[in-house]
Chains A and B, each alone.
Chain A
Amino acid sequence: QQQVKQSPQSLIVQKGGISIINCAYENTAFDYFPWYQQFPGKGPALLIAIRPDVSEKKEGRFTISFNKSAKQFSLHIMDSQPGDSATYFCAASMAESNTGKLIFGQGTTLQVKP
């Protein structure tokens, strides 16, 4: 019940295309859903995050869509660029518990071809 399931494991997209990564969770107590981006040789870094009181959050070319009833959320990267090639992790936490602990998905390796 603590798991966050992420798909696909890998994704290849042409430059200018839309990249979509999906995550699903079981624990309805989760109330904070961040996405982290990791470039080769670097640690993950926060990209964008959403709380379940909204269904969508957009920052530049990156959008999180959240479906509370389905317990799913997804990352959309519009106009994908080669510089977006990285590994993306979704995560979830129970902010009310204030433990700071994140449950990460397995990660998706995105390759954007020029």
Chain B
Amino acid sequence: DAGVIQSPRHEVTEMGQEVTLRCKPISGHDYLFWYRQTMMRGLELLIYFNNNVPIDDSGMPEDRFSAKMPNASFSTLKIQPSEPRDSAVYFCASSLASLAGETDTQYFGPGTRLTVL
């Protein structure tokens, strides 16, 4: 398997523009997570899905952020309008739920480095 695929790897945009980040999870995985990583705040969970359904979006910083998972093999994280403070590395991760009482490994993608000027 190719692992978790994210695109683009780098994105530079100007304040006010819409940004869309994309993720393809590992085939067969039923959990998908979006994280944001910055020096100041570390690794923050933004939202996660189970079987394409959003389960917890409490980490989404503002209404400017939205995420969708239209099918099991694709998810997007959208920022509209973008602001300089959104500059960060955004990671997508996926995992496969096993029996209750087990937590499976989260497999991270390579990340998208977003710079908002």
Contact = CB atoms under 8 A, between A and B. Distances in A.
Given A43-B4, A100-B48, A95 B42 contact: no
A59 to B, nearest CB: 14
Contact of A95 (B48, B95, B102): B102
Interface of B: 4, 31, 33, 42-43, 45, 48, 50, 55-56, 91, 93, 95, 97, 99-111
Contact of B108 (A44, A95, A96): A44
A104 interface: yes
Interface in A28-87: 32, 34, 41-46
A13 interface: no
A43 B103 contact: no
Contact of B31 (A43, A45, A100, A104): A100
Contacts, number: 62
A32 B103 contact: yes
A100 B30 CA distance: 10
Given A104-B42, A107-B42, A96 B100 contact: yes
Instruction: Give the interface SS of chain A, mostly helix, strand, loop or mixed.
Output: loop
Chain A residues touching B, range: 20 to 34
Which of A43, A44, A89, A101 has the most B CB atoms < 10 Å from its CB? Answer: A43
B95 A100 contact: yes
B42 A43 contact: no
B104 A100 contact: yes
B101 A95 contact: yes
A7 interface: no
27 contacts: A32-B103, A41-B111, A42-B110, A43-B93, A43-B108, A43-B109, A43-B111, A44-B43, A44-B108, A45-B107, A95-B100, A95-B102, A96-B100, A98-B97, A98-B101, A98-B102, A98-B103, A99-B55, A100-B31, A100-B33, A100-B50, A100-B97, A100-B104, A102-B103, A102-B106, A104-B45, A107-B42
